[in-house]
Structure 1
Amino acid sequence: MSNALARLALSAYRWVGLGLYPVMRPYLAYRAAKGKEERGRRSERFGRASVERPAGPLVWIHAASVGETNAVSPLIREVRRRGISVVLTTGTVTSARVARERLGDSVIHQYVPLDLKPVIGRFLDHWQPDLAIMVESEIWPMTILELGARHIAQVLVNGRMSDRSFARWKKRPAIADALFEKFALVIAQSDADAERFRTLGALPVLVSGNLKVDTDAPPHDPAVLAAYRSQLGPRKTWAAISTFDGEELAAGTVHAMLKEHLGILTIIVPRHPERADAIEEALVARGLKVARRTRNDPLTADTDVFLGDTIGEMGLYLRMTEIAFVGRSLFGEGGQNPLEPAMLGCAVLSGPNVQNFRDSYQRLAKSGCARMVRDVEMLAKGVGYLLVNDDMRHKMIAAGQDSLQEMRGALTETVRGLEPYLNPLTVKARLHPREAP
């Protein structure tokens, strides 16, 4: 595709977006009715700020969802430590809650504006950021072009490029080049990600490692954990976390294969808790007794499955076990983040489809913390083996801790890469001190 055709394609994207503008309000109202938007804050999605811009230097940081918000929280604290204001945008109700819990009033949270030229323009007119930082794989054409037109430096941190995304961008090299060249800097998670960004036109590109390794462990309520442990008594447990459609029934099958001999409790934490009713119905149809976290059901001696149908309590569920199967890897593609279970002292099992977290799995598998399974039968054998083999389970857990220690340092490398952009803002903030937002 020529540069002229790339410009034409981006222009078409802009005009299509303008054409869709009138229908976005009812669409967001529909999402709000489903609980996917905050009713009182929908105007933020149209670039209308709900608070005033603070005086002094300001950095706009965008993190799409919960994982990205958790990953970038330590970086946000570093930026705030320098006296620089931060407006953090996220795209989901859950990530907004996580931002509030982890960062409190130290940042200004807004919902990310729609990628439409007038909306982005309105957002930038109000906030006038001195620097824009996007997290992981957030590539929005109008946002990138508008930031570029205003000469606002934009940086991608913890950059990740999946196989599917890379294949799509490679088919449109001129469009990729027109967008990725706008980044002042890309800081990638791995050498493989870095090479992909370079191929698509990004320069310069640095490698930091994964910021998620440098985050705090997921929080939990100690009293709740103690209560569940008391109810469990000596029963053994394993967990299937971040599961997608099909994997909950697979976990139920594993439980049925093992329960007669081991008397276990299976913990299932679906990636999308709104599916909990359907999951419970399917498990009950298999003859399994289900307790749900949202109902505060007790874990009795005949409870088969504890369904973790809440958001933001992964720290609780993972602390209830030492074995975790990470979903979207047997059914579905891409995988989910294995670092949290390793961080919280779990031996990690996964299906083979982990393209989106390939580097993390390779490191954990090489150390001996993670093992891959091909199918449900192999998963059952792996879970059963680890439940009865304490030495192997503890060996895998220790290997995970060692591997995570070796992987740490991404935050330091990221801050080092950002120094040319943060240092002038730090000086400006110190010359004109003010109250934090």
Structure 2
Amino acid sequence: MSKPRSLSLAAYRVLSWGVPSSNGRPPEPRPDGELLWIHIGSHDRLRAVEDFCQRLLPVRPGLSLLLTTPHDADLRDWGDHSGILVNLPAEQTGAARGFLDHWRPDMGVWIGGGLMPNLITRAEERGIPMILLEAEVDVKVGRGGKWLPDITRYTFDCFRKILSTSEATARQVRKLGIPSSKVSVAPPLHISPAPRPWPEDELIETNHALAGRPVWLAAWVQDKEFISVLSAHRQALRMLPRLALVLHVADMSEAEPLHRRLEAMDLRCANWDDGDMIEDTTQVILTSDPEDLGLWHRVSAVTFMGSSLERGAGGRDPLVATALGSAVVHGPYVNKFQTLYDQLRQANAARAVRSATELGDAVVELLAPDRAADMALAGWQMVTEGAPQADLLIDMVQETLDQRRAENAGA
């Protein structure tokens, strides 16, 4: 490290010294073996990171993940995740040292802005290779550090590779004095689900039983949505008399009571979970097993993503349905996955409805020749465009960890 850099960092570290008071919870133990640290700068990037992690772990046996969020993020809002999820400490010198002493990551991937000079420069000094994705010129300096303009440059220079989503941001980074060889433009991580394959013989048998009938799926339906979905189906049956509904209930305990209700409503129902056969007169196929959705998304040209017509549930992830070639319809209450639904609608791969009547109209319209196919193609293009970027990052992580392992073996 050059002398000017040492003086600037020394001054900054003195100004930002401090260790936050304990919250009373000891940190989780560090997993054995290789540990990849991924920092997620904002909550809306978690789903894409999760998708990347699911792709990475099978090709890197023994790798553990440490996911971090900004220090002031409420972890209760971050939902399910791979590996360990913790808040980063505040931008204080002692806190940064304590974090790195405990976790000892083999590599770091920082996604987005909010760069923390103490943590990042300490990691670089310890020889921890780091990559910056979706770079933003956004550095969170501690108190008194704003008068040290070189801190931003030193922080960026700690990364071995810097990938920006725009040429404008890349130019900003280069203007800091970062070598051009480190900086490149690349698209952000996109979600690109890879659903597990389905047995071909069962798929053929199910399609044969349906005998070319139009089929739509209502997935993850809550009990307070049953009447709306069944009313939409009755409405659609007037235009499509051979239409079949696959009704997947969100709560398995609701399946049997719903079966009795369907019989009382004079709707001919096959309970798939009980092994009932699909007949030519079957109007509703009732199921509650989430695993079977892989079959029904493939069979159904249109999927209504339930848990979205009424307030409370917040919607369900639509991307597996999209990846399996089904056009997506959803209600207005999808706040848990709002960004995904917005992207699908912008790509003309999803349609929002607000009532049973609108749902019935959408089913009839989308089952018209080529209409669902156009939406499904648009959705498939959206969910597959992120695969090359995820594959590139996997290659970078693999290469960097292999190099570090070789260096440690030779030490």
- Given the two structures, how large is their TM-score scaled by the length of structure 2? 0.60
User: Which residue number in structure 1 is paired with residue 202 of structure 2?
Assistant: 224
Cα deviation for residue 238 of structure 1 reads 0.3
Which of 64, 76, 85 lines up with 2:57 in the alignment? 76
Matched, 1:342 2:322: yes
* Residue 150 of structure 1: how far off its partner (Å): 0.3
User: Residue 150 of structure 1 aligns with which residue?
Assistant: 102
| 1:307 corresponds to 2:286 | yes
Distance 1:60 1:198, change over 3 A: closer
Q: 1:257 to 1:216 in 2, by over 3 A?
A: same
- Matched residues in 1 for 2:285 and 2:226: separation? 11
Counterparts of 1:221 and 1:157, CA distance in 2: 39
Kindly indicate which of the two structures has a greater share of residues assigned to helix: 1
Range with greater deviation from structure 2 (283-292 or 228-237): 283-292
Against the structure 1 CA distance between its residues 187 and 231, is the aligned structure 2 distance closer, same or farther, given a 3 Å change threshold? Answer: farther
Contact (CA 8 Å) 1:209, 1:409: kept in 2 or not? no
Three-state SS of the structure 2 residue aligned to 1:238 is: strand
Q: Give the corresponding residue for 1:11.
A: 23
Query: CA 1:69 to 1:222, structure 2 compared with 1: closer, same or farther past 3 Å?
Result: farther
1:94-113 to 2 correspondences below 5 Å: none
Q: Identify unmatched segments of 5+ residues in structure 1.
A: 1-5, 18-45, 90-114, 116-133, 160-176
Shift of 1:267: 0.9
8 Å Cα contact 1:136-1:156 kept in structure 2 = no
- What value does the CA root-mean-square deviation take over the aligned residues? 5.1
- Residues 53-72 of structure 1 mapped to structure 2, 5 A cutoff: 57=34, 72=53
Tell me the residue number matched to 1:392: 371
- Please tell me whether Structure 1 or Structure 2 has the larger radius of gyration of its CA atoms: 2
Say which of 74, 86, 91 aligns to 2:63: 86
SS at match of 1:75: helix
Matches within 5 A, 1:232-251: 232-251=210-229
Q: Distance in 1 between matches of 2:405 and 2:131?
A: 25
Asked if the contact 1:158/1:187 (under 8 Å) is kept, the reply is yes
Contact kept, 8 Å, 1:292 with 1:309, in 2: the verdict is no
Residue 382 of structure 1 deviates from its aligned partner by 0.4
Q: Report deviation, 1:320.
A: 0.9
The alpha-carbon deviation at position 140 of structure 1 amounts to: 4.5
For residues 257 and 150 of structure 1, the distance between their equivalents in structure 2, rounded to whole angstroms, comes to: 61
Question: Could you tell me how far apart the structure 2 residues matched to 1:398 and 1:330 are?
Answer: 25
In the alignment, which residue of structure 2 is the partner of 1:426?
402
Q: Distance in 2 between matches of 1:220 and 1:302?
A: 26
SS of the residue 2:363 aligns to: helix
**Equivalent in 358, 371, 383 of residue 338 of structure 2:** 358
Structure 1 pair 231–138 and aligned structure 2 pair: CA distance change class (3 A): same
User: What corresponds to 1:379 in structure 2?
Assistant: 359
Tell me how far apart the structure 2 counterparts of residues 79 and 324 of structure 1 sit (CA, whole Å).
Answer: 34
Q: 1:98 — aligned with what? A: none
Between the aligned partners of 2:251 and 2:109, the Cα distance in structure 1 is: 27
Instruction: Provide the identity percentage.
Output: 21
1:289 is the counterpart of 2:268: yes
Q: Which residue of 1 aligns with 2:243?
A: 264
Q: CA deviation at 1:428?
A: 4.6
In the TM superposition, residue 135 of structure 1 has moved relative to its aligned partner by 4.1
Give the Å deviation of 1:401.
2.9
Q: Which amino acid aligns with 2:350?
A: A
Assess if the C-alpha contact under 8 Å between 2:65 and 2:83 holds in 1.
no
Q: Secondary structure of 2:220's match?
A: strand
Which residue, 389, 400, 403 being the options, matches 2:382?
403
Within 1, Cα distance between the matches of 2:406 and 2:109? 26
1:186/1:206 contact within 8 Å kept: no
Contact 2:216 2:300 in 1 (8 A): yes
1:40-51 matched pairs, under 5 angstroms: none
Count of equivalent residues = 322
Partner Cα distance (2:229, 2:400) in 1: 53
Q: Give the superposition deviation at 1:258.
A: 2.2
- Describe the shift of the 1:261–1:352 C-alpha distance in structure 2 as closer, same or farther (beyond 3 A): same
Letter in 2 for 1:362: D
Contact 2:64 2:83 in 1 (8 A): no
Query: Alignment partner of 2:196: what SS?
Result: coil
Contact 1:68–1:135 (Cα < 8 Å) also in 2:
no
**Match of 2:23, as an amino acid?**
S
Deviations along 1:309-341, one digit per CA (max 9) or x if unpaired, are 223232211111111111222123532222222
Sort the Cα spacing of 1:412 and 1:322 in 2 relative to 1 into closer, same or farther, 3 A: same
Alignment partners' CA distance in 1, 2:50 and 2:275: 28
State the 1:222 CA deviation. Answer: 1.4
